[in-house]
Amino acid sequence: MRAAGTHARVGKGAPVGLLEDKAAVITGGAQGLGLAIAQLFVANGARVVLADINIEKATEAAKELGPAIAVRTDVTKEDEVQALVEACQQEYGRIDIMVNNAGVTRDASMKNMSADDFRLVIDIHLFGAWLGTKAAGLAMKAQGAGSIINMSSISGKVGNFGQTNYSAAKAGMVGLTKAAAKELARGGVRVNAIQPGLIRTAMTEAMPRNVWESKVAEIPMGRVGEPAEVAGAALFLASELSSYMTGTVLEVGGGRYI
């Protein structure tokens, strides 16, 4: 069943989803923003691959989605990311969309942050996105078309206290996006990024109430965002509605830090 307001009508026939028959890979797709993106993609006609290190949760989510499969993937392992892209090609015949969304947090002040926790966050977010962009980009270039979406964060724009690792990784993803966009453009492959602000997820709702309220107070729109609103930006970048956009960064933050 198509989600209301998320389809286009072609001629006099039935509504056609914005991603009809497109094949999409979403890393970190078992829950949170990744799952919200997958749900909207499927509602718009896409067939998806949920890539996650938690294969049990990814498999359960794939069963509920419909045209979807789950692939256990450690995004820091080049062979596993390559196998992920190949799994999409084998299952659906091609790969049209790659969403590099997998991530973790290991927050602490620099004084208290271990080198291992710094490297872990950089590896999963930034190195993982580079591996995904590289593998998907080569496959899409051979096809002559494709859309890669890197999930950055508003913290990559302004920096957050206690997140030198996360902020550095998310800022690096912007540079990766812009450089890769230049390399892949002539092959018909677009590369864009999204920078979510404060979005309602299990992680953000675990914040102390006073911290939550102070962050909401910084948002001109006066509320937190919902995962579906980030998914809407991803749908736009994945579809032909953004066909002349590459190397861009969309902020989904309610006006925070504009």
Catalytic center residues: 166
Q: For 147, left (φ over 0), alpha (ψ -120 to 50), or beta?
A: beta
How far is Cα 7 from Cα 19, in angstroms, rounded to an integer?
Answer: 9
In the chain the beta strands, taken as DSSP E runs, fall at: 7-9, 15-17, 23-27, 47-52, 68-72, 97-100, 146-151, 189-196, 249-252
Task: Supply the DSSP string of 150-184, one letter for each residue.
Answer: EE--THHHH--TT-HHHHHHHHHHHHHHHHHHHHH
- Taking the CA of residue 11 as centre, how many other CA atoms within 13 Å lie in the half-sphere pointing to its CB? 2
How far is Cα 131 from Cα 107, in angstroms, rounded to an integer?
Answer: 24
List CB contacts of 212: < 8 A, sequence separation 6 or more. 204, 205
Rg (CA), the chain: 18
Contact 143, 92 (CB under 8 A): no
Contact 144, 187 (CB under 8 A): yes
